[in-house]
Amino acid sequence: MARNDPSSDDLAMLGDLLDLADVRRHEPTTAVTAEILRRLEQMLGCDGVALNVTDARDFTSEYVQEVESGRETVAGRPADGVDDGGGVEVVHRYWWSLPGNFVELRGEPLVATVRSWFGQRRWAEHPTQREFFHAEDILAFGYPLGRGRAVRVVAPRLTGEPFGEREVTMCRLLLPALREMLVAVATGVEQDAPALTARQREIVELVATGLTNKEIAHALGISVGTVRAHLDQIYARLGVSSRTAAVAAAAAGGPRPGAETVSAGG
């Protein structure tokens, strides 16, 4: 049976996602949105998550970024001439009957699932399900850009139970917080990142005091995994391979060229 209420682990995941989405701490980059998609896939228990920009006037895709089983599979402007077996054509034909596309009609951010709109039998018989999606349920949330364009996150669940109130509630809580980061990257306003973001500088300062990853996670209200991910990014940006070298390089004001990086432990 599906859980309806967020658990303590869910709340921790929400905290991590809110941290990643904070543009004051993280520059909008595809690396950040890829990590957001990975966390969403884990939180929602779905089979991949896609971030895209679509134009409903001619059904073109301006940007696609996908994560499946934790691995990024696509990022950037989709290639022309992809053979979809004709499946996309049926999606276009029934576009306005799918609840995830109501973001353009209503002109406001929203969260929706297919199975909250269609019953099991009706969805099984729907042409887009029979010819293209082949999913038990699809959760989508998005942000209108105007003139028929929208930024959308799409998460299919191929088998098992449909999405419940738990998943919908968590996405509704995240909806306003994710907007600036997702829209900035998906619409192509990604900027060159500085040596370290505000959050990364904060972590380096705590590393300098001798705190472990677990202690840093507790101090910042994030998970140990998120601390490790930040440290890996810090090492890569500074061109170092240890905590001590990261502190020294950050204090010196920039990266050290020519050094290999390693995954952060501790």
Q: What is the mean pLDDT of residues 57-74?
A: 88
Q: Does domain 198-252 have CATH number 1.10.10.10?
A: yes
Q: Which two tokens stand for residue 62?
A: 């301006």
Domain covering 8-186: architecture? 2-Layer Sandwich (3.30)
Is residue 21 within 8 Å of residue 181, measured between CB atoms? yes
Average pLDDT (122-140) is 95
How far apart are alpha carbons 153 and 147 in whole angstroms?
Answer: 19
State the Cα–Cα distance between residues 130 and 232, nearest whole angstrom.
43
Residues 6+ apart with CB under 8 A from 122: none
Q: Where do the domains of the chain lie? A: 8-186, 198-252
More confident residue, 46 or 81: 46
Residue 10 belongs to what H/E stretch?
Answer: helix 8-21
Burial bucket for residue 262 (CB in 10 Å: 0-12, 13-18, 19+) = exposed
Residue 260 has pLDDT above 80, yes or no: no
Mean pLDDT value of segment 148-169: 95
147: pLDDT strictly greater than 90 = no
Query: Does 101 have pLDDT greater than 90?
Result: no
Q: At 266, is the pLDDT very low, low, confident or very high (cuts 50, 70, 90)? A: low
Read off the pLDDT of residues 10-58 as tens digits, 9 standing for 90 and up.
889 999 999 999 998 898 999 999 999 999 999 999 999 999 999 888 8
Contact 62, 183 (CB under 8 A): no
Q: What per-residue confidence (pLDDT) applies to 159?
A: 96
Q: Which of 196 and 133 is assigned the larger pLDDT?
A: 133
Burial class (CB in 10 A: 0-12, 13-18, 19+), 69: exposed
Looking at residue 259, its pLDDT comes to 41
Number of H helices, E strands in the chain: 11, 6
- How buried is 102 (Cβ within 10 angstroms: 0-12 exposed, 13-18 middle, 19+ buried)? middle
Name 32's Cβ contacts closer than 8 Å, sequence gap at least 6: 20, 26, 181, 185
Q: What percent of the chain has pLDDT over 70?
A: 85
Residue-wise pLDDT tens digits, 4-23: 667 888 889 999 999 999 99
**What residues contact 228, with CB distance under 8 A and at least 6 apart?**
213, 263, 264, 265
3-state helix, strand, coil in the chain (%, to 5): 50, 15, 35
pLDDT at residue 3, as a whole number: 56
Taking the alpha carbons at both ends of the chain, their separation in whole angstroms is 37
Give the pLDDT of residue 192: 44
Q: Are strands 149-157 and 71-76 parallel, antiparallel or unpaired?
A: unpaired
Q: What share of the chain in percent tops pLDDT 90?
A: 52
- Categorize the per-residue pLDDT at 257 as very low, low, confident or very high, splitting at 50, 70 and 90: very low
Q: Please give the mean pLDDT across all residues of the chain.
A: 85
More confident residue, 156 or 74: 156
> What is the pTM assigned to this prediction?
0.71
pLDDT at position 57? 83
- Strand-pairing partners, residue 98, are none
User: What are 232-254's pLDDT values in tens digits?
Assistant: 989 888 888 889 888 887 776 65
